[in-house]
Structure 1
């Protein structure tokens, strides 16, 4: 025990004293005292036979007095500055707890570890205590913890925007009716334009890799107005300080000053390696704050997109993908992949970075040919966005065989119907092997139905501002003057208007696309 205490100090005292008061689970000890699981396990091992038998972890009653005398030497205890404020909002905590319980489950591949409902409320209270939230704009760069929802419940006059790659989360937040603006975006390919340069405050609890932290901070910088602040939740184990140092160096690289740091502010249901806790950093961008252009797809700590994983498809998949794109006419193929040089084949005529395709589509000359996209690392949301981004005669996309859009007939049908005015899809599962699949898309013929012509016009211009593209579709295909067409767009825009009002189709959450497409179709005379 002496060795454990000398290495870890006061936190070990707290754990030992708590074990003398009542029974605990290992997870509760880790989260309550923000001590890494490995350290708690060392404490338990050092206690040995002094632990009482049974499932609950506690010190034997006859041994408790000795441990209290030995470890209860605290002379100063710091009060929780948010304690009184938290106690004053029991209804808010109950509502956030209810909302959290119905939220989509965490996705391990996206490094989701759910913060406790109390943490979401504490974040809202902290923001309210330090900033004037009435009429302010908060950007959440990823928000699985529902920080935006908790803060808007506390301050309904706050404007909040959530940017996330998880379509389930965006649909859920939208369903809460809090007026939170939900924007789809994979931050590896940039911050959506609809969220750029708008917020005075940005909050992020990113993947805890140096590349993940750096990328999310870059996007937060892009989302701020001059003089804005960034709130970062980040934790590391005191057993591995080098990891923490690597992240803290990123602050300097991005010209971010650490204005304040609150240890163990956030608590989680999981992440026991770092004590189920993270610190809260208040970061102040300098006038030179900038982005470094991080675009690595492997920013996470788990799964196919982890820092240790390869983002390239196997050679057999890459070869089959290009052949599928070329099709029977052996069209020239423009390749796009996370890793340069990953695709190969005699039909390959050139390459375009996946991020460039995502944000800008296909160059004009390539639209007469085919496009092959390696999306083997697709987290589940890339396939639809690639179908929206690409304009060409043919398109082939490699994805995992368990991709949610391919897993069953219902998913395949839903995707096919969504893009039917633009593409005819063929799903080739288990191709060329059991873990991969290729989706082939052939450009649909020009529609004859007036409504479908409008939809096709919009789908072919997914990177343009939606209201402008829709207006231009009406002027092109119905002969309406621009003012009349703009008024018709405003009339048919789905209510309540969200990202559709000033964003692009690429940024519109998936759950809003079907109603939007129906509205576009209905706006035809």
Structure 2
């Protein structure tokens, strides 16, 4: 049986890029049943391309699976090069780590569900393991610091499992991902530090200029790539020797999208040291063939200044879906309420209209979170744009004002309520039983959140927790240590440092603003434990 005219036309139109379609034809002709999603992922061909091929072929169908019957398959078997495709750069290393892919498959299956608003698409377990193997094959990892800028894929766990000699840190906006990574790492005896951050507002202080290698799989928009790559550069401690590994993919028919992304990387003065085509495979993202290339980027001496100049210019819109998508329309900030309650802001945080309190000082949220404000305003008004709502608890912690009024773009969501994004855990931090209750009495009226500072607690544990949260820009371990020394008369600095390390090993080098929600929740119990340990430590040995 001869090849159909429609199939011949598709192959001719594809030209030198026809290998993808030939691979799909070979799979459909091997006697197995294939789903559309599997054909897309295995061949790295866009869904649109595979659908066009299936229309011309008219294959057998069983539910959502396809194949060619033996009589028709014979005409296409010769189209595929049996030795085709590029050699996997680390495929030969997989046999040295039996069970690694299966273990990661279990971890990925148990991970929090992806959030469309954050452009989450899960990489396959094989991809995550191969990323870790490539790091070890290309770079010397003993003692190296690896930073994952966003890690819904759980690459951090794969790196920590295969290279325990490396120090691994994760920065992410999704509280669920951070809690899951920390929990699984603890179960397996791995060391993975977790830090909360919205990269649009900056990189956490504890990870700036600290990493030797940074790996990221950012939103696939020029804005998203540019922002994540800029933050990755800011995370490198040695700009001459560090590397950034970045995943990015575009459909075979969308070269201009790739051009815009590569232009964003060029603006950061990053050199493409290597690029492995279709290295990353995904469950989903079928528009780009469920695949992405892996770039190894080398910074230049111009990269850090370029990152500093460009990172803060990126708008909140960096994603392809949701309120922070590049196609969303920004909404203006409403004026803060004033009236019978006498609230008049002494400082405005965020993007306020010019005619709103024109003589009142203003500060950008990124600056607000980066360092303490020079003066001590008693009344602060903060506007939160769409998509930046998860930063609300940290915006509150970043001041010692008596009264903070936040204006949200929509009413505060009810945790677990209808239509709630599964990643919306930040409202729980504002609840009467949440960790911010130690600092504020919070009242919510529609889109307005009023936070009024409460008196200092009288008990030792409450005072220590409050002291830590009141110094949100300072290193948590330092504030904690000094508070312990005051609470436990006779405790030395060395003893206090050891007590904090025992009660909260996750507290070293982090500020309260960077703490993930699960660590903020653990803080009161950890503080109480440290006071008990401190009381024992100060007793003279018998």
* TM-score, normalising length: structure 2: 0.85
What CA distance in whole angstroms lies between the structure 2 residues aligned with 1:155 and 1:73? 36
**Structure 2 residue aligned with 1:299, among 308, 313, 318?**
318
* Counterpart check, 1:198 vs 2:210: yes
The structural deviation recorded for 1:252 is: 1.8
The structural deviation recorded for 1:518 is: 3.4
The structural deviation recorded for 1:346 is: 5.8
2:178 is matched with 170
What CA distance in whole angstroms lies between the structure 1 residues aligned with 2:199 and 2:340? 32
**Structure 2 residue aligned with 1:183, among 195, 199, 205?**
195
* Counterpart check, 1:212 vs 2:224: yes
2:375 is matched with 364
After superposition, the C-alpha distances for 1:470-496 in whole angstroms (9 at most, x for unaligned) are 344456x65968x83563253144545
1:64 is matched with 73
1:249 is matched with 263
What CA distance in whole angstroms lies between the structure 1 residues aligned with 2:349 and 2:430? 26
Matched position secondary structure for 1:403: coil
The structural deviation recorded for 1:47 is: 1.8
What CA distance in whole angstroms lies between the structure 2 residues aligned with 1:415 and 1:217? 38
* Counterpart check, 1:126 vs 2:139: no
Q: Cα 1:406–1:490, aligned 2, differ >3 Å: closer, same or farther?
A: farther
* C-alpha RMSD of matched pairs (Å): 2.7
**Structure 1 residue aligned with 2:289, among 270, 275, 289?**
275
Matched position secondary structure for 1:397: strand
1:235 is matched with 249
What CA distance in whole angstroms lies between the structure 2 residues aligned with 1:221 and 1:508? 22
Q: Cα 1:383–1:76, aligned 2, differ >3 Å: closer, same or farther?
A: closer
What CA distance in whole angstroms lies between the structure 1 residues aligned with 2:363 and 2:340? 20
What CA distance in whole angstroms lies between the structure 2 residues aligned with 1:259 and 1:415? 52
Q: Cα 1:218–1:37, aligned 2, differ >3 Å: closer, same or farther?
A: same
After superposition, the C-alpha distances for 1:406-425 in whole angstroms (9 at most, x for unaligned) are 95999477564412221001
1:419 is matched with 436
2:538 is matched with none
* Counterpart check, 1:373 vs 2:373: no
2:8 is matched with 2
1:389 is matched with 398
After superposition, the C-alpha distances for 1:392-415 in whole angstroms (9 at most, x for unaligned) are 121122333363659599947756
Q: Cα 1:77–1:218, aligned 2, differ >3 Å: closer, same or farther?
A: closer
2:3 is matched with none
Which deviates the most, 262-271 or 445-454?
445-454
Q: Cα 1:406–1:369, aligned 2, differ >3 Å: closer, same or farther?
A: farther
Query: Is the CA contact (8 Å cut-off) linking 2:150 and 2:171 kept in structure 1?
Result: yes
**Structure 1 residue aligned with 2:349, among 312, 318, 336?**
336
1:107-118 counterparts in 2 under 5 A? 107-118=115-126
Query: Is the CA contact (8 Å cut-off) linking 2:503 and 2:527 kept in structure 1?
Result: no
The structural deviation recorded for 1:74 is: 6.0
2:478 is matched with 468
Q: Which runs of 5+ in 1 are unaligned?
A: 432-436
Q: Which runs of 5+ in 2 are unaligned?
A: 1-6, 419-424, 536-542
What CA distance in whole angstroms lies between the structure 2 residues aligned with 1:522 and 1:83? 48
Aligned length: 502
The structural deviation recorded for 1:34 is: 0.4
Matched position secondary structure for 1:145: coil
What CA distance in whole angstroms lies between the structure 2 residues aligned with 1:473 and 1:148? 33
Matched position secondary structure for 2:466: helix
What CA distance in whole angstroms lies between the structure 2 residues aligned with 1:161 and 1:282? 19
Matched position secondary structure for 1:220: helix
What CA distance in whole angstroms lies between the structure 2 residues aligned with 1:221 and 1:240? 27
1:434 is matched with none
The structural deviation recorded for 1:333 is: 4.8
What CA distance in whole angstroms lies between the structure 1 residues aligned with 2:221 and 2:24? 28
Q: Cα 1:65–1:469, aligned 2, differ >3 Å: closer, same or farther?
A: same
The structural deviation recorded for 1:213 is: 0.6
What CA distance in whole angstroms lies between the structure 2 residues aligned with 1:87 and 1:95? 14
Query: Is the CA contact (8 Å cut-off) linking 2:211 and 2:236 kept in structure 1?
Result: yes
1:517 is matched with 524
Query: Is the CA contact (8 Å cut-off) linking 2:25 and 2:80 kept in structure 1?
Result: no
After superposition, the C-alpha distances for 1:208-227 in whole angstroms (9 at most, x for unaligned) are 11111111111111111221
The structural deviation recorded for 1:461 is: 1.4
What CA distance in whole angstroms lies between the structure 2 residues aligned with 1:441 and 1:303? 28
The structural deviation recorded for 1:269 is: 0.4
1:308 is matched with 327
Q: Cα 1:139–1:328, aligned 2, differ >3 Å: closer, same or farther?
A: same
**Structure 1 residue aligned with 2:456, among 446, 451, 476?**
446
What CA distance in whole angstroms lies between the structure 2 residues aligned with 1:24 and 1:377? 38
1:25-174 counterparts in 2 under 5 A? 25-48=35-58, 51-55=59-63, 56-69=65-78, 71-72=79-80, 78-174=86-182
Query: Is the CA contact (8 Å cut-off) linking 1:336 and 1:352 kept in structure 2?
Result: yes
Q: Cα 1:129–1:495, aligned 2, differ >3 Å: closer, same or farther?
A: farther
* Counterpart check, 1:349 vs 2:360: yes
Which deviates the most, 418-427 or 288-297?
288-297
